[in-house]
Amino acid sequence: MATRDYSDKQEKAVAEYLDGNKTPNSGATPFKKGDVITEDTIIECKTKTKEVTSHAIKKEWIDTLKRECISMGKEHWAIVFDFGTQKIEDQYIVLPISYYKELKEGYDNE
């Protein structure tokens, strides 16, 4: 299976799980960016083609997502990654601490 196939499988699973939409061509269009878009969030998905025990997160991914949020009018960004298992229960998320605080406060007020 090609690397693109692994990525496509992850993006579809994440979009379905988060009630989002998979971006055509992984956001390589001039108007839609990111791999998955939800109501207020642009999500970049990262996976591995084989199981590993570590996964690097690059600052350039975050910087790109911040710019894409502005250009698309989205409030939040996130990076979803896995260690190559391709299972939805093995997906993890990186997001700004301010967004985490906002989510936590929402739960605390319920």
Return the pLDDT at 108: 79
Rounded mean pLDDT, 7-22 = 95
Return the pLDDT at 4: 87
Q: Of all helices (H) and strands (E), which one includes residue 106?
A: helix 97-108
In a domain, 102, yes or no: yes
The number of domains in the chain is 1
**Predicted structure pTM score:** 0.88
Contact between 59 and 95 under an 8 Å Cβ cutoff? The reply is no
Band of pLDDT at residue 106, cut at 50, 70 and 90: confident
In a domain, 28, yes or no: no
User: What tens digit of pLDDT does each residue of 15-74 get?
Assistant: 999 999 999 765 455 556 789 999 999 999 999 999 999 999 999 999 999 999 998 999
- Helix, strand or coil for residue 49? coil
* Token duo for residue 45: 């998905």
Instruction: Print the domain residue range for 9.
Output: 3-23+38-108
In a domain, 32, yes or no: no
Return the pLDDT at 2: 83
